[in-house]
């Protein structure tokens, strides 16, 4: 993993955050709505999916991380930044932390110290590995009751591409699976993507996670032998906006429906 840059805080109420920090008052509700943006190149594209899963289903973040042209723009809340600093600071220096995190600038400087400066003492790789674990930038166990036989059926027509198993949560739209639908209509859709290789995951990240950060990642899991599954929920799905996905759906269902 390579950290390219760290943008300073992007907050709803910058002055209030600064006041709380100055007075050493911790307020998770406020701090979880205030972000540093970490520009990073992930070790593995699946790291991006697992982080977004954490943001959508566990942390329930308001402003979510995005992916564009190989770079993951990770939103790190002030709460997460403080927690990470506490995690990697040696025990002998723990009592110095309250004074060291009294300003946004000091937290920003500490993040740069831990994540972007290749220290000669060999600690840099340790800091990066702890950052990955702390920020859920790695694969972790998830549970599913999804019937993978559905994917096997779709694979009859699409042996190597991205499959899209679709459920519609609005009144059924005529012609949806053929792609012949009214582009003015919007509806709620849940899609289980299946990828045979990780380059296909990059396609979804580029086409879905950056432009449409309001969409929810519901699950990510691997069946080891056959690839990765990504379950997503799209609210107000519109065929003209999501043309890339509609083309996939039309291709997957062309000989089934």
| Dihedral class, residue 24 (left if φ above 0, else alpha if ψ from -120 to 50, else beta) | left
Where in the sequence is the domain holding 203, given as residue range(s)? 149-253
13 and 103 part of one domain? yes
Which pLDDT belongs to residue 121? 60
The H or E element that residue 29 is part of is helix 28-31
Do 229 and 128 fall into the same domain? no
Paired with 75 in beta bridges are: 37
Q: Determine the pLDDT at residue 118.
A: 66
Structure token digits, residue 229: 């599954």
Judge if 154 and 93 occupy the same domain: no
For the chain, what is the domain count? Answer: 2
Residue 74 has φ and ψ, to the nearest 5°, of -90, 125
What confidence score (pLDDT) does residue 186 get?
77
How many DSSP H helices and E strands does the chain contain?
Answer: 10, 8
Compute mean pLDDT per 10 residues along the chain, 257 residues long, and list them: 87 75 81 88 94 88 84 92 94 92 91 81 85 95 88 83 84 68 77 91 82 78 84 82 83 74
Is the distance from CB of 89 to CB of 98 less than 8 angstroms? Answer: no
In angstroms, what is the C-alpha Rg of the chain?
Answer: 21
Same domain, 164 and 114: no
pLDDT at residue number 231:
94
First to last CA, the chain: 43
Strand order in the sheet with 34-41: 2-11, 34-41, 71-77, 66-68
97 and 190 fall within a common domain: no
């Amino acid at each position: 993993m390579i950290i390219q840059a760290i943008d300073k805080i992007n907050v709803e109420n910058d002055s209030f955050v600064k006041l709380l920090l100055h007075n050493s008052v911790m307020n998770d509700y406020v701090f979880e709505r205030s972000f540093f943006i970490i520009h990073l190149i992930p070790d593995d594209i699946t790291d991006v999916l697992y982080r977004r899963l954490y943001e959508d289903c566990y942390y329930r973040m308001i402003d979510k991380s995005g992916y564009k042209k190989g770079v993951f723009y990770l939103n790190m809340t002030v709460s997460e930044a403080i927690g990470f600093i506490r995690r990697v600071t040696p025990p002998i220096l723990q009592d110095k932390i309250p004074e060291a995190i009294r300003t946004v600038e000091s937290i920003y400087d500490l993040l740069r110290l831990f994540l972007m400066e290749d220290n000669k003492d060999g600690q840099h790789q340790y800091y990066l590995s702890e950052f990955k674990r702390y920020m859920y930038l790695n694969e972790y166990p998830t549970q599913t009751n999804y019937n993978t036989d559905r994917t096997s059926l779709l694979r009859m027509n699409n042996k190597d591409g991205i499959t899209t198993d679709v459920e519609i949560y609005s009144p059924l739209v005529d012609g949806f699976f053929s792609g012949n639908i009214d582009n003015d209509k919007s509806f709620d859709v849940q899609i289980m993507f299946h990828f045979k290789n990780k380059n296909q995951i990059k396609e979804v990240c580029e086409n879905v996670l950056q432009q449409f950060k309001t969409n929810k990642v519901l699950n990510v899991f691997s069946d080891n032998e056959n690839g990765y599954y990504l379950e997503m929920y799209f609210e107000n799905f519109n065929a003209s906006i999501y043309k890339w996905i509609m083309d996939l759906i039309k291709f997957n269902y062309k000989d089934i429906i």
